């Protein structure tokens, strides 16, 4: 959606069609943003080469035909894929239709769809300099404009007022993502009173399906604000001095872009991509990294509290995060789309 918005800023008359499946969030999000949505059947892909991989071509055949019909009907000049169920058939359909392909990989460890898509394209963008996709360009991740243009220092007074936080106190933002994370929730609820005793206030998004913690407001103590969900992440980032969070690719990209240091707790399942996502920002000095099993109240007291109570260290980490961050990935990706179209029209597209 950030790329679609950027394309419309460059050319309000451009036609944009999103491909999706009926099981995805796109069935709600795409129409809400005013873009055309076309649905194709979902074909789950194995994350790694396995014997199941040999069954993929047969299962993909009908989906590729459906995607190709859409590509030809809307007269697409380019297909841009971000991986996942929809990307693989879209890449194969675009190749059959002779339409140029642009690939964007958000994670440090690319998925199967983008590995294959990258073979058919000279225009491959990645979100991290540590990406394993060859011949790719590091541009970052296209971000929402409210995040990409955020000035945390300028917005901080408004943000802290919005959440009912003290304007002067160091602030820890905690979120395990849109659904929350039990390990983060349990740890921060256990340690919150100690953090308050040290003069730290907490803004905690527990997840919409999780129970809000019982909070005893003690006069004179720093606030502990627990909410089900944060619908204004721009204000949450502006209010905070440090974030405790998972390490999804989008989260890492947003924090780096706005210069908010973080303590990353990678999700302990999957193929380890969240740890890889966080490592470049941590290496740059903009964050801390801890395994899920090692996140305990004692660890927070020993590692997070000293950062929150040291203004110079917070400033240094914020600067390091901002220097690693990319705010212009949407415009850079728009440029790649036009490059791919121009190259195809000039007969230089890869066969």
Distance of alpha carbon 81 from alpha carbon 157, whole angstroms: 39
Q: Is 144 annotated as a binding residue?
A: yes
Q: Is 121 annotated as a binding residue?
A: no
Which alpha helices (DSSP H) does 86-232 contain, by range?
A: 87-97, 112-119, 145-148, 152-163, 182-197
- Terminal-to-terminal C-alpha distance of the chain: 29
Q: Is 196 annotated as a binding residue?
A: no
Is the Cα dihedral 274, 276, 280, 282 positive or negative?
A: positive
Q: Are 87 and 115 in contact (CB under 8 A)?
A: no
Distance of alpha carbon 76 from alpha carbon 23, whole angstroms: 24
**Is 345 exposed, middle or buried, given 0-12, 13-18 or 19+ CB atoms closer than 10 A?**
exposed
Radius of gyration of the chain (CA): 22
| Tokens matching residue 338 | 């036009």
Q: How far is CA 21 from the centre of its chain?
A: 20
DSSP 204-261: EE--TTSPPPP--PPTTSPPEEEES--S-HHHHHHH-SEEEE---HHHHHHHHHHT--
| Tokens matching residue 277 | 């996502």
Q: Are 257 and 143 in contact (CB under 8 A)?
A: yes
Is the Cα dihedral 277, 78, 334, 14 positive or negative?
A: negative
243-264 as b/e, with b when 16 or more CB fall inside 10 Å? bbbbbbbbbbbbbbbbbbbbbb
Q: Is 178 annotated as a binding residue?
A: yes
Q: Residue ranges for the binding site for UDP-N-acetyl-alpha-D-glucosamine?
A: 107, 144, 178, 274
Q: Residue ranges for the binding site?
A: 107, 144, 178, 274
């Amino acid at each position: 959606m950030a790329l679609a918005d950027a394309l419309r800023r460059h050319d309000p008359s451009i036609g944009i069609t999103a491909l999706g499946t009926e099981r995805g969030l796109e069935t709600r999000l795409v129409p809400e943003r005013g873009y055309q949505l076309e649905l194709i059947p979902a074909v789950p892909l194995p994350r790694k080469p396995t014997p199941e991989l040999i069954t993929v071509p047969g299962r993909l055949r009908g989906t590729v035909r459906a995607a190709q019909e859409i590509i030809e009907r809307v007269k697409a000049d380019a297909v841009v894929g971000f991986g996942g169920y929809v990307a693989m058939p879209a890449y194969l359909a675009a190749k059959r239709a002779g339409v140029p392909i642009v690939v964007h990989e958000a994670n440090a460890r690319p998925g199967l769809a983008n590995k294959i898509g990258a073979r058919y394209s000279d225009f491959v963008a990645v979100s991290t300099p540590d990406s394993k996709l060859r011949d790719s360009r590091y541009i970052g991740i296209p971000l929402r404009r409210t995040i990409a243009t955020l000035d945390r220092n300028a917005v901080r007074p408004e943000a802290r007022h919005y959440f009912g936080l003290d304007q002067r106190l160091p602030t820890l933002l905690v979120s395990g993502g849109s659904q929350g994370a039990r390990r983060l929730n349990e740890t921060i609820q256990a340690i919150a009173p100690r953090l308050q005793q040290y003069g730290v206030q907490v803004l905690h998004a527990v997840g919409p399906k999780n129970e809000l913690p019982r909070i005893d407001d003690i006069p004179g103590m720093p606030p502990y604000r627990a909410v089900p969900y944060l619908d204004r992440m721009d204000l949450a980032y502006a209010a905070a001095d440090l974030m405790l969070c998972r390490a999804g690719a989008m989260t890492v990209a947003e924090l780096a872009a706005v210069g908010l240091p973080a303590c990353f707790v990678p999700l302990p399942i999957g193929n380890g991509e969240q740890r890889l996502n966080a490592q470049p920002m941590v290496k740059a000095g903009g964050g801390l990294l801890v395994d899920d099993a090692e996140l305990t109240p004692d660890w927070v007291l020993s590692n997070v509290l000293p950062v929150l109570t040291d203004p110079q260290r917070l400033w240094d980490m914020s600067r390091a995060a901002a220097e690693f961050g990319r705010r212009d990935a949407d415009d850079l990706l728009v440029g790649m789309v036009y490059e791919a179209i121009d190259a195809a029209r000039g007969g230089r597209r890869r066969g």
